[in-house]
Structures are given as C-alpha cells and as structure tokens.
C-alpha cells in the first residue's frame, strides 16, 4: 500500500452540483458555530464547518459568487457560494490565512466525523443539547 492509498479524499458540492471542491487528508479542525451570523447564513441554530490547509484543497471547479462580511472579532470572512442554487460551499477567514473552511453539509456524508469544538456558545439555543459529544471543547 502506498502513501497515496492512505490519504483520505473528500468531495464537497453545492445543492445543484455546479460548484465543487476536493479536499485531501485529515482536516485541521471540525467545529460548530452558534454565532448569530452563522444562524442567519444557514437558517438553522448553528453551522458546522471543517477547516483544511489551503494546499490540501486540491481542486475547486465551477463558478462562485463571493460575499465578505466583518466577523464579530473584527476580522473578515469571505463566503463563496453557488450563483445558481445559492449554497455556501466554502469560505476564507482573514484571521487564518492559508486555511479554507468548508460547510460540512456540502460533503453530504453521514459518516463525517463529529465536531471537536463548539464556538460562540453564548449564542447557543437553550434546547441544543451537545451532551452526546463528550469530547467536544466548549468555547464562548
């Protein structure tokens, strides 16, 4: 077995399949975010993202539209979404150059690993229960 055989490859895509990306290897971070901006962007009580080193994102195909907004931290976030179906597929955080965040839902993989971090907990809906994730790190 070669080293290439051991490398995990994951494919992410928008709802219509026009915007796609390929990620190699294990992610740097898997997290859920409860901030109000993520709630508004996704339409649900939290978002789930996975971060990869930019050089581990080996292909991005299709057209995307970008939207940049300030983050609560004062940095900026640039979202890339499909201009046809509107799905947010990936984004870049100015605070983490060389890193690409990908919406976990874009992988459409029920076997995707559980999040290890939960951020902006002060914005978490009171009924969101994370007790089934005993190893998750809670960050405010």
Q: Is residue 57, in this structure, part of any structural domain at all? A: yes
Q: Is residue 136, in this structure, part of any structural domain at all? A: no
Q: Is residue 129, in this structure, part of any structural domain at all? A: no
Q: Is residue 104, in this structure, part of any structural domain at all? A: yes
The arrangement of strands across the sheet holding 9-13 comes to 9-13, 20-24, 57-61
Q: Is residue 96, in this structure, part of any structural domain at all? A: yes
Q: Is residue 101, in this structure, part of any structural domain at all? A: yes
pLDDT of residue 1: 39
At 40, give phi and psi (nearest 5°).
-70, -40
DSSP string spanning 91-125? EEETTSTTEEEEEGGGG--TTSPPPSEEE-GGG--
- Compute mean pLDDT per 10 residues along the chain, 140 residues long, and list them: 62 98 96 93 95 97 96 89 97 96 96 95 95 92
Q: Is residue 89, in this structure, part of any structural domain at all? A: yes
Distance CA 50, CA 30 (A): 4
The count of structural domains within the chain is 1
pTM over 0.85: yes
Q: Is residue 68, in this structure, part of any structural domain at all? A: yes
Which residue segment(s) compose the domain that 91 sits in? 9-122
In this structure, are residues 12 and 102 in contact, taking their beta carbons and an 8 Å threshold? yes
pLDDT of residue 72: 75
Look up the CATH number of the domain holding residue 62: 2.170.150.70
């Amino acid at each position: 077995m070669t080293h290439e055989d051991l490398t995990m490859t994951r494919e992410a895509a928008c709802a219509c399949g026009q915007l796609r990306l390929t990620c190699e290897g294990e992610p740097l971070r898997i997290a859920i975010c409860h901030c109000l901006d993520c709630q508004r962007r996704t339409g649900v009580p939290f978002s789930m993202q996975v971060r990869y080193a930019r050089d581990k994102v080996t292909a991005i195909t299709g057209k995307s539209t970008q939207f940049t907004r300030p983050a609560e931290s004062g940095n900026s976030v640039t979202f890339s979404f499909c201009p046809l179906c509107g799905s947010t597929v990936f984004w870049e955080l100015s605070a983490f150059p060389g890193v690409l965040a990908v919406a976990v839902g874009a992988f459409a993989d029920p076997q995707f690993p559980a999040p290890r971090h939960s951020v902006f907990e002060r914005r978490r809906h009171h009924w969101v229960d994370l007790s089934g994730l005993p190893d998750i790190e809670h960050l405010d």
